[in-house]
Amino acid sequence: MYAKEVTINNPTGLHARPATQLVREAEKYQSEIRIIKENMVINPKSIFNVLAAGLSQGIAITVEAEGTDEREAVDSLCRFIEDLKE
């Protein structure tokens, strides 16, 4: 398993458009990926899970993955979240 913490900087958080983009990015990887927000476990390959999580600006989350491409998946999703400016 590989994990990293990242803070959501986007002023509007992960609303509909960036949430959809996050799901598309997560779906590229075979590893099982999870986003941890406090005690909530979110499946980033599910648009409903991502939107229901209320991932707003300033929230620190942990992105973790387990599988053959876990490092690539975590690094890519963290980079996506850090670079998001919409």
Residue 30 β-bridge partners: none
Return the structure tokens found at 40: 């909530």
pLDDT value of residue 48: 97
Structural domains in the chain, CATH included, are: 2-83 (3.30.1340.10)
pLDDT tens string 17-75: 999 999 999 999 999 999 999 999 999 999 999 999 999 999 999 999 999 999 999 99
Strands (E), 20-76: 32-37, 40-42, 60-66
Query: Cα separation of 9 and 30, whole Å?
Result: 27
Return the structure tokens found at 10: 């986007």
Task: Decide if 15 is catalytic.
Answer: yes
Catalytic residue among 4, 15, 21, 67: 15
pLDDT value of residue 81: 96
